[in-house]
């Protein structure tokens, strides 16, 4: 099942937060996709084990050995939107400003922030190849991850009915973040501003109604 817009926005916000945490806490200025896949995998696994629904990525077993296509797409979309740069993902000033503007969202979710911080702080300083080897050796049911068949589901979004807590975000912050982090809404805004530059005057309903559909 595809993620909802709300889930996608929350996922992207947390992904940017994790990259920011690597820099501010551990002086790691850029994060490879391989390491990012591990940091988010461990964070979501920890949250799910605590029965908290926050991250919504689906991870399967592949070569390195945990992988989420949704996370890969998010990282590349965030790069296109100007929040990250480089093949080794490095946050831009735009990201720092966004996280400053929405720091209250994390303050409203202290347990979630604490659990994510604990996993990032444990694994971010680890050399990437060592982290990959450790993950391959992780016990998974009666086997280890390395011995699982490629494509085996590992971590997937926690169902609301099985959770004891959810990521909290008010509607106003969600709408503002959606405008910042959703490519479709960003394209709609760019078209709106382009129309204005070309002299086509739009009503309030035309400008903001289309963004909320």
Tens of pLDDT along 160-210?
999 999 999 999 999 999 999 986 665 555 555 455 556 654 444 444 444
Q: Is residue 177 part of a domain?
A: no
Tokens at 161, concatenated: 């009915």
State whether 114 and 188 are in the same domain. no
Tokens at 91, concatenated: 């946050």
Tens of pLDDT along 11-36?
999 999 999 999 999 999 999 999 99
Q: 13: how many CB neighbours lie within 10 A of its CB?
A: 22
Q: Is residue 175 part of a domain?
A: no
- Domain membership of residue 165 as a residue range: 5-169
CB within 8 A of 124, min separation 6: which ones?
21, 22, 25, 26, 28, 31, 35, 39
Burial class of residue 144 in the structure, from the number of CB atoms within 10 Å of its CB (0-12 exposed, 13-18 middle, 19+ buried)? middle
State whether 65 and 157 are in the same domain. yes
pTM of the entire predicted model: 0.86
State whether 112 and 213 are in the same domain. no
Q: How many domains does the chain have?
A: 2
Q: Is residue 176 part of a domain?
A: no
State whether 10 and 52 are in the same domain. yes
Q: Is residue 174 part of a domain?
A: no
Angular region, 147: left φ>0, alpha ψ -120 to 50, beta rest: alpha
């Amino acid at each position: 099942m595809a993620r909802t817009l709300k889930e996608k926005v929350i996922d992207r916000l947390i992904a940017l937060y994790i990259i920011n945490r690597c820099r501010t806490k551990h002086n790691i200025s850029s994060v490879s996709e391989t390491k990012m896949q591990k940091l988010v995998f461990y964070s979501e696994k920890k949250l799910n084990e605590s029965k908290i629904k926050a991250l919504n990525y689906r991870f399967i077993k592949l070569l390195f050995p945990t992988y989420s296509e949704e996370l890969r797409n998010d990282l590349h979309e965030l790069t296109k939107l100007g929040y990250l740069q480089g093949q080794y993902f490095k946050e831009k000033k735009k990201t720092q400003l966004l996280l400053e503007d929405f720091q209250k969202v994390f303050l409203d979710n202290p347990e979630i922030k604490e659990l994510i911080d604990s996993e990032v702080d444990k694994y971010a300083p680890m050399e990437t190849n060592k982290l990959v080897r450790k993950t391959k050796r992780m016990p998974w049911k009666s086997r280890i991850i390395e011995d699982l068949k490629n494509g085996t589901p590992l971590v997937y979004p926690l169902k609301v009915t099985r959770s004891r807590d959810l990521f909290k975000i008010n509607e106003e912050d969600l709408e503002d973040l959606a405008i910042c982090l959703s490519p479709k809404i960003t394209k709609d805004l760019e078209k709106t501003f382009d129309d204005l530059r070309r002299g086509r005057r739009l009503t309030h309903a035309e400008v903001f109604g289309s963004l909320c559909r």
